[in-house]
C-alpha cells in the first residue's frame, strides 16, 4: 500500500522531469541554480538537526549541480564573466567540502547567498521575459 507521501514524491518527480523537458537552455540554468540553492539549504538544515547522512547526500547533490553549472560555461564566448563564474563555482566546491568535513553551516550560508546573487542576475537577463512597458509621461 502506498502512502500519501509516496504519491506526493512521485508527483514531484514527474513535475520536475516535465519542467526540465520543456525548459529552454536559459530555464535549465535557472532550474539548476534553484536546485543547488535548495540542496545547500537542506544540508544546512540537516546539520542543525544532526542528520549527518542526509547532510552528506544534500552536499553531494549540490556539488554535482554546481559541477554541471560549471560545465555549461563557454569560456571562449563568455570571456571574463564566464571565467569569474568558473572561479566562483570552484570556490563553492571547496566550501562544500569544508562544510561537509566540519559539519559547519556557515560556508553553506555563504554559498546560498552567492548563488542567490547569480540566480537574480541570471533571471534579469532572461531572453524570454516580457519586455518592460514603456514609461509615458
Query: What is the rounded average pLDDT of the residues 53-59?
Result: 97
Q: Which of 18-22, 24-28, 37-41, 74-78 has the lowest average pLDDT?
A: 18-22
Report whether pLDDT(2) > 80: no
Whether 52 and 45 have beta carbons less than 8 Å apart is answered as no
Q: Which candidate, 39, 29, 35, places its Cα nearest to that of 124?
A: 29
Whether 68 and 32 have beta carbons less than 8 Å apart is answered as yes
What confidence score (pLDDT) does residue 92 get? 98
Residue ranges of domains in the chain, CATH in brackets = 23-124 (1.20.120.340)
What confidence score (pLDDT) does residue 54 get? 97
Report whether pLDDT(45) > 70: yes
What confidence score (pLDDT) does residue 65 get? 97
- Give pLDDT tens digits for 75-108: 999 999 999 999 999 999 999 999 999 999 999 9
Report whether pLDDT(16) > 60: no
Percent of the chain with pLDDT over 90: 72
The rounded distance, in Å, linking the Cα atoms of 62 and 35 is 8
pTM for the structure as a whole: 0.80
Amino acid at each position: 500500500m502506498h502512502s500519501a507521501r509516496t504519491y506526493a514524491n512521485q508527483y514531484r518527480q514527474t513535475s520536475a522531469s516535465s519542467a526540465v523537458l520543456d525548459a529552454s537552455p536559459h530555464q535549465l540554468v535557472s532550474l539548476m541554480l534553484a536546485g543547488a540553492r535548495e540542496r545547500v539549504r537542506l544540508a544546512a538544515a540537516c546539520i542543525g538537526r544532526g542528520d549527518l547522512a542526509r547532510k552528506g547526500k544534500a552536499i553531494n547533490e549540490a556539488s554535482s549541480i554546481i559541477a554541471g553549472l560549471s560545465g555549461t560555461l563557454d569560456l571562449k564566448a563568455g570571456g571574463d564573466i564566464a571565467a569569474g563564474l568558473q572561479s566562483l563555482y570552484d570556490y563553492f566546491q571547496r566550501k562544500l567540502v569544508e562544510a561537509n568535513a566540519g559539519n559547519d553551516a556557515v560556508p553553506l550560508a555563504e554559498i546560498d547567498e552567492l548563488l542567490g546573487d547569480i540566480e537574480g542576475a541570471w533571471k534579469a537577463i532572461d531572453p524570454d521575459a516580457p519586455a518592460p512597458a514603456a514609461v509615458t509621461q
